Amino acid sequence: MISKRIVLKFPHRLVDQPIVCNLAKYFDLEFNILKAYIIPKEEGLLILGLSGEEENYNKGINYLKKLGVIVQSLSQGIIRNSTRCTHCGVCITVCPTGALVLDTHTRKVHFYENKCIACELCLPACPLRAMEVHF
């Protein structure tokens, strides 16, 4: 089993086609939509939790790539700028999934990318603007 959070960017020509349902239909993959929107130039952006057997997962990703979908790991999308973060920890009560946690021993903030759902609530809540989106 493999389970990952990914960011998919659909070019203009694919925006009106049913693609994600094929991941379930042909590759036996489970998907959980975390976020979906249309960005300027009519590109579609979809953030998914995707899981299934490793072989099927890889086939599914290849299917997407062949169609022209850009596939990116979510952890490359939401980034903590370590030079701006001061580890104050004001973000920790804003993050709904516990992806931002203050270590009570070191008093430093940890960012667990695998827990991040890209809700982006931390972005305006961080006074130092240390959280960045790179989609």
Partner 1 sequence: MTKTITEINEKIKKGDVVVVTAEEIINIVEEKGVEAAAQEIDVVTTGTFGPMCSSGMYINIGHAKPRIKLGGGTAYLNEVPAYCGFAAVDIYLGCTSLPEDDPRNRVYPGKFEYGGGHVIEEFVAGKDIKLTATAYGTDCYPRKKLETWINIKDVNEAVLFNPRNVYQNYNVAVNLSNKLIYTYMGTLKPGLGNANYCSAGQLSPLLNDPLYKTIGIGTKIFLGGGVGYVAWQGTQHNPTTKRKDNDTPCVPAGTLAVIGDLKQMKPEWLRGTSFQGYGTTLTVGVGIPIPILNEEILRHTAVKDKDIYASIVDYSETYPQVKPGVLGEVSYEQLKSGKIVVQGKEVPTASLSSYAKAVEIAENLKDWIKQGRFLLTEPVASLPGPESGLTFKLLKERPIE
Residues that bind partner 1 (CB under 8 A): 83-84, 86-94, 102, 104, 106-108, 124-125, 127-129
Are the CB atoms for 45 and 37 separated by under 8 Å? yes
Of 109 and 116, the one with the shorter C-beta distance to partner 1 is 109
**Which tokens hold the place of 59?**
């086939």
Q: How many CB atoms lie within 10 A of CB 47?
A: 23
Nearer to partner 1, 68 or 127 (CB): 127
Q: Minimal distance in Å, beta carbon 86 to partner 1?
A: 4
Q: How many other CB atoms are there within 10 angstroms of residue 126's CB atom?
A: 22
The Cα-based distances of 79 to 1, 17, 64, 91 in angstroms read 26, 30, 24, 14
Minimum distance from residue 74 beta carbon to partner 1 (Å): 24
- Shortest Å, Cβ 36 to partner 1: 24
| Closer Cβ to partner 1, 4 or 87, answer by number | 87
